[in-house]
Amino acid sequence: MLARLEQVIGERRLADPSTSYVAKLSARGVPKIAQKLGEEAVEAVIAAMADDREGLIGESADLIFHLLVLLAAKGVTLADVAAELARREGVSGIVEKASRKG
Ligand SMILES: N=c1c2ncn([C@@H]3O[C@H](COP(=O)(O)OP(=O)(O)OP(=O)(O)O)[C@@H](O)[C@H]3O)c2ncn1[C@@H]1O[C@H](COP(=O)(O)O)[C@@H](O)[C@H]1O
């Protein structure tokens, strides 16, 4: 799903801003995309604190979508992020093994 959305965002970035939200937001530049991402993060936090489960799901979808738009604008791919997460998994695996031995 995320890979599909990443692909759609990549395709829509340079589309007609009058027909595409991704194109409209991308045309406004990284500061605007980053601002939207921050707003969505705050809205997700507010929903969580209010025990609003449906709200949290919706705001989380907005948050992840806007993160993908920002990553695309900066030329960072989901594969780059996945590689970093896998590296951390490896690091914590090594620490776990060492603590089991020691
Ligand atoms: N997942 C999303 C998605 N999530 C949220 N949004 C849009 O994000 C916007 C956030 O709403 P806000 O009220 O915060 O912002 P706004 O008032 O529209 O904009 P501002 O003037 O406040 O910046 C809404 O317009 C939503 O429609 C999304 N727009 C698009 N997608 C996906 O992106 C694909 C491509 O979309 P288009 O670029 O529109 O073709 C779609 O098929 C969807 O899969």
Given a contact cutoff of 8 angstroms between Cβ atoms, the answer to whether 35 and 28 are in contact is no
Domain assignment present for residue 91? The answer is no
Task: Tell me the best of 2, 16, 21 to mutate to test the pocket of ligand 1, counting ligand atoms within 8 Å of each CB and taking the most.
Answer: 21
Q: pTM, whole model, 2 decimals?
A: 0.91
Which atom in ligand 1 lies closest to the alpha carbon of residue 65? 1
The number of angstroms, rounded, from the C-alpha of 47 to the middle of its chain's C-alpha atoms is: 18
Task: Quote the ipTM score.
Answer: 0.91
Confidence category of residue 35, pLDDT binned at 50, 70, 90 = very high
Domain assignment present for residue 82? The answer is no
Determine whether the shortest distance from the Cβ of 12 to ligand 1 is under 6 A. yes
**What was the pLDDT predicted at 99?**
80
Q: Whose CA is nearest to atom 21 of ligand 1?
A: 25
Phi, psi of 13 (to 5 degrees): -50, -40
- Containing structural domain, residue 66: 2-74
Residue 30 sits in a domain of what CATH number?
1.10.287.1080
